[in-house]
A and B are shown apart, each in its own frame.
Chain A
Amino acid sequence: GAVVSQHPSWVICKSGTSVKIECRSLDFQATTMFWYRQFPKQSLMLMATSNEGSKATYEQGVEKDKFLINHASLTLSTLTVTSAHPEDSSFYICSARPRGKTGWHEKLFFGSGTQLSVL
């Protein structure tokens, strides 16, 4: 089955530093990847939609200069949290839609998530 690898699974960093999270589709090409954040005991909130070769589309209220998204290839999207602060501490999850699958009856494949803790 399709696998999405997300790395790292857990990161602790100091306030003011930047953190990069990678999302890779291992056995399929993904033209579209999605980034979510999840606070404890809350739902997933869509942050942005990442399309290969173009700029990401951010949801309302998400700072694009704070959360940099790069989708340079069909198998890799990265989310960089710039100048991280404690309020950015959260669980970040990516998902990928296989290339050629445009209908919503097709599956999205999710990464295992990254727990970010900013001290």
Chain B
Amino acid sequence: GEDVEQSLFLSVREGDSSVINCTYTDSSSTYLYWYKQEPGAGLQLLTYIFSNMDMKQDQRLTVLLNKKDKHLSLRIADTQTGDSAIYFCAPVRGGGGNKLTFGTGTQLKVEL
């Protein structure tokens, strides 16, 4: 099965940029998603990128994909306290089944 790894914790100051990294093992992943989870809540889709893209920008969010290294990153510009949450990357598993495999999640803490 696919392994998806993320750093567990990231702390940034308000106004700075945050970069959350993700590595995965299944090179046949077709879509790669980023989700946000606030305490005690479900997941909110933030953005996604197709595997044939290198970069996608969506307002304050920039997703970079290095398919060769199987590395995905999410950059949040001008990070706000409301961005404090857990962020999960989730590649769609290749080989059929169209199932999401969630990373371990990165706890982002934004400090004043």
Contacts and interface: CB of A to CB of B under 8 A. Distances in A.
Interface of A: 4, 6, 9, 36, 41-46, 49, 93, 95, 104-105, 107-108, 110-113, 115
Given A43-B102, A43-B104, A43-B105, A107 B41 contact: no
Interface residues of B, number: 24
Nearest to B50: A105
B98 A112 contact: no
Interface of B: 4, 8, 30-31, 35, 40-45, 48, 50, 88, 92, 98-105, 107
A59 to B, nearest CB: 9
Contacts, number: 49
B51 to A, nearest CB: 11
B39 to A, nearest CB: 10
B44 A46 contact: no
Contacts of A112: 40-42
Contacts of A108: 45, 100
* 10 tightest Cβ-Cβ pairs between the two chains A and B: A110-B42, A110-B43, A43-B102, A112-B42, A44-B102, A104-B31, A43-B104, A113-B42, A104-B92, A111-B42
